[in-house]
Amino acid sequence: MSIAAPQGAPAAAPVPPEPGPLPVNYLNNGHSIWSWLFTVDHKRIGILYLVSISIFFVAGGIAAGIVRLNLLQSDGAIVSEDAYNRAFTAHGVMMLFFFLIPAVPAVFGNFFIPMMIGTKDLAFPKLNLASWYVFMLGAALAIWSVLVGGIDTGWTLYPPYSTRASQSNVIPGVLGVFISGFSSIMTGLNIMVTIHKMRAPGMTWSRLPLFVWSLYATSLIQLLATPVVAITLVLLMVERAWGVGIFDPSLGGDPLLFQHMFWFYSHPAVYIMILPGMGVISEVLTCFSRKNIFGYHAVAWSSMGIAVVGFLLWAHHMFVAGISFYAALLFSLLSMLVAVPSAIKVFNWTATLYRGSISFQAPMLFSIGFVVLFIIGGLTGLYLATLGTDIHLHDTYFVVAHFHFVMVGGMVMGYFAGLHYWWPKMTGRMYSDFWSRFAACVIVVGFFFTFIPQFVIGYHGMPRRYPNYPQEFQFFNVMSTAGAGVLGVGYLMPAVYLTLSLINGKRATANPWSATGLEWVSQSPPPIFNFDESKMPVVVCGPYEYSLGVDQMGRTLPDAPTGAPAELHEGTAADGHGPTSPAKQES
Amino acid sequence: MSAKHNTPALKHHFEDLGQQHACERLGIWMFLATEILFFGGIFGAYTVYRYLYPHEFEVASSHLNRTIATINTIFLITSSLTMTLAIRAAKLGNKGELIRWLFVTAALATAFMVMKGFEYAEDFHEHYVPGRMFQDELKSARDEIAGKSEEDAKKHQFKPERQKWAKELAVQVNHKHVDPGKVQLFLCFYYIMTAIHGIHIIVGIGCILWVAWEAWRGTIPPENYSTVEVVSLYWHLVDAIWLFLMPLLYLTGAGYKH
């Protein structure tokens, strides 16, 4: 990929000379490795998380590649059956515990919650840094257990297989997940206390950006669900290490108890993964359709609704595991109930787009992709919540496709939307407009080709986690693997053009998208304490006053990014990075 | 940092001490919520098995040392009182008294752990530990009374090296349908719950000594007593958890007649 290409198409005009050295900001304040490793700045910690989870995303992606390549042939194309088990377990553990759970809360939550509510840092900066070290310790253990032979239990770790039969490195892997859970708790606690106690003057609860609301709901789940899986994993490790029978039925234990305790966390955990993505979407859709959100309170409270109802439906993972019929009936009903707040969000997003002045920059494309894929993922979830159909579809590729539509189609798209939306603020650089839009399209196309065939073969009965399948499923499996290849290329493209933007990207203005949030008030990249310390923000209005054209401090927004985005910012790029420039024009 | 906020206790990112203390208090209460869920998981699992196997849980519990547990309960309740007296001293700005009460609290906590250590050692010497030791001990006792009727088995003179619990349990297993696997299940819960609680006690001792050190350095002036309060809230939770462990583990089998 040539460097000239990304800039060539839209930005034929000569690149304006770069203005002088940037004012002091969080990035150029200290360059040594120690200034990063011992930082207590929430923005730098967010960047540390960004770098680490990107590595784990690649690692989980490689494992997924092994799984997909192996399924090219009906008897396994590249690896042994044992290695196949280890590959899909590594994929699940890596992606869920070390990418999806920390992705948005620990990167964008860390970086932007204090900025969006107008404060200098999270409530407990040292705890925040500690959370990263704890996370890395857990990740190191998990990766080490994969490298020295892997785990073959699947990410769900069901006993008695995981405690008695499995010959793989269950204990170090589980210990890694156990430890990283504490980092999740620390992040959640920090964010929750910050939102409660550190909002800027005038930042009332109904003026909070919806991203903050979604992170609040996420933190609630992190805080109350994660400890339960922690104690469950302790019991699992004790059972495996000492051969006692807590969950082993042959020694008096109850394996269903493990499933209950495991899903009591791991079902709410999928809302830890998806809720922050929904928050990103609310930010991006309003900004790029230049409209206030439709039904602010409905969207905000639906996040809380998902968080609360999400705690009450874990046993829908166990419909065929031998729970009582009446319990299954109740959990089925409750599972349907959680579709209500999710649908409220989708309807409100759609109504927000209606008659908006929509522009299709990369963050917007990713967000629209999120909404479309989330609708498919959400609706197929209803098939699985229905008792009768679930007996047919349970443990098939239908579940895999549903799950990936929500988690990858939903959450990973939301993550990329946030990354593209906030990249100029985090790095002070603009990335290639053409390549970012192109990558969004490639990712959506690759995604459809990967996972639509899995709905088909799942419906026809191909079980998940099997390395072999009947010959007639090969066509769809090959199609899925080819789609995964496209998807992989799509994911590589941001890695390239975002990295290039750091080297030669255009300088970003304070507010390149003309967005209303407080994070866009300060320069890009932000100063060390987020805002000009003599003038901490005072909030006078709601978060999405695009129709009035004012930000949350009531100041006029710069020109909206309609039309060709390359021409947008060149006019304003020269007039400095200071957050005060629009205010000066006013006064 | 502007001059009017320039007190050493105020951290750079807070507006004033009021905000800082509010954050610290809310933070520790949320942490206590996670602790309750953490212990809640294992209390829940205990409850399930207690419901499924009430008889075995009574039998297993009856062999634990209730004397040590009672003394330990007194230690912990007293330590909660001394911790509260430490807060009072901190509020009044009485540094010497603050440090003294913190040390008394840490000493009571240490006494708890020492007693707990003796108890573990006793259990270990009696082979009352799930796994190989338990199974071998029980098997030897059962072998001695193999084939005997219940009356004869009860009168049987066991070899002197047999443990008391094994003699009684052997009769119950042979004649009263007590499942030794489920007795071991209780012991698993006993060891895991008390060990996790013990780890919390040790962390608590560390925190209390750290506060005492900070107080000695003079970084806990009366307007910043929330540090002591935060540690005390944690300490009271650890104490409260013991008040649930004590009846669940030790008193379950207190009235059991062998």
ipTM higher than the 0.95 cut:
no
Q: What is the pLDDT of residue B6?
A: 53
Q: B interface mutation test: which of A231, A257, A311 has the most B CBs within 10 A?
A: A231
Contact B23 A193 (CB under 8 A): yes
**Residues 513-532 (A) with a CB less than 8 A from some CB of B:** 529
Q: What is the pLDDT of residue B254?
A: 84
Q: What is the pLDDT of residue A565?
A: 44
Range of B182's domain? 15-251
The C-alpha atoms of residue A272 and residue A105 are separated, in whole angstroms, by 9
The CA R_g of chain B, rounded to the nearest whole Å, is: 24
A195 interfacial to chain B (CB closer than 8 Å): no
Residue ranges for chain A with pLDDT beneath 50: 1-17, 563-587
* Cα atoms found within 13 Å of the Cα of residue A24, Cβ hemisphere only: 8
Q: Position of tokens 């400890």?
A: A227
* CATH code assigned at B184: 1.20.120.80
Name the residue facing A251 among B44, B48, B181 (closest C-beta): B181
Helix and strand numbers (H, E) in chain B are 9, 0
Contact A245 B30 (CB under 8 A): no
Residue A172 has which token pair? 């170090």
Q: List, for residues A111-156, the tens digit of each pLDDT value.
A: 999 999 999 999 999 999 999 999 999 999 999 999 898 999 999 9
Contact B181 A223 (CB under 8 A): no
Contact A227 B41 (CB under 8 A): yes
Residues of B in contact with A198 (CB under 8 A): 14, 19, 23
| B53 in a structural domain | yes
Contact B42 A235 (CB under 8 A): yes
Q: What is the pLDDT of residue A11?
A: 41
Q: List, for residues B136-170, the tens digit of each pLDDT value.
A: 999 999 998 888 888 888 888 888 888 889 888 99
**Residues 250-289 (A) with a CB less than 8 A from some CB of B:** 251-254, 257, 261, 264
Using 50, 70 and 90 to split pLDDT, how confident is the model at B120?
Answer: very high
Q: What is the pLDDT of residue A584?
A: 39
pLDDT above 90 (res B8)? no
Give A165-180 as a DSSP string.
I--S-HHHHHHHHHHH
Name the residue facing B185 among A120, A230, A246 (closest C-beta): A246
Min Cα distance B216 → chain A (Å) is 23
Give A104-154 as a DSSP string.
IIIIIIHHHHHHHHT-SS-S-HHHHHHHHHHHHHHHHHHHHHHHTT---S-
What are the structural domain ranges in chain A?
42-316
The C-alpha atoms of residue B165 and residue B186 are separated, in whole angstroms, by 14
The C-alpha atoms of residue B250 and residue B240 are separated, in whole angstroms, by 16
Name the residue facing B41 among A123, A197, A228 (closest C-beta): A228
Contact B131 A224 (CB under 8 A): no
Q: A interface mutation test: which of B1, B2, B10, B13 has the most A CBs within 10 A?
A: B13
Name the residue facing B188 among A223, A226, A246 (closest C-beta): A246
Contact A119 B37 (CB under 8 A): no
Min Cα distance B178 → chain A (Å) is 12
Residue A221 has which token pair? 């789940």
For CA atoms B147, B150, B151, B154, the dihedral sign is positive
Q: At the topology level of CATH, where does A42-316 sit?
A: Cytochrome C Oxidase; Chain A (1.20.210)
Q: B interface mutation test: which of A131, A194, A197, A533 has the most B CBs within 10 A?
A: A197
Instruction: Give the CA dihedral A444, A450, A456, A461, nearest 10 degrees.
Output: -140
* Residue in A with minimal Cα distance to B19: A197
A55 interfacial to chain B (CB closer than 8 Å): no
The answer to whether A500 and A105 have CB atoms below 8 angstroms apart is no
Q: What is the pLDDT of residue B72?
A: 97
The CA R_g of chain A, rounded to the nearest whole Å, is: 24
Min Cα distance B183 → chain A (Å) is 10
Q: List, for residues A176-219, the tens digit of each pLDDT value.
A: 999 999 999 999 999 999 999 999 999 999 999 999 999 999 99
Contact A244 B13 (CB under 8 A): no
Q: B interface mutation test: which of A119, A163, A193 has the most B CBs within 10 A?
A: A193
pLDDT above 50 (res B18)? yes
Name the residue facing B41 among A231, A251, A253 (closest C-beta): A231
User: A508 phi and psi, to 5 degrees?
Assistant: -90, 145
Q: B interface mutation test: which of A242, A244, A323 has the most B CBs within 10 A?
A: A244
- How many domains are there within chain B? 1
Q: What is the pLDDT of residue A579?
A: 40
The C-alpha atoms of residue A295 and residue A297 are separated, in whole angstroms, by 6
Min Cα distance A125 → chain B (Å) is 9
Q: Say which residues have a Cβ less than 8 Å from residue A441's Cβ, sequence separation at least 6.
A: A365
Contact B31 A257 (CB under 8 A): no
Q: What is the pLDDT of residue A4?
A: 42
Provide the mean pLDDT of chain B.
Answer: 91
How long a stretch of residues is chain B?
Answer: 258
Q: What is the pLDDT of residue B147?
A: 85
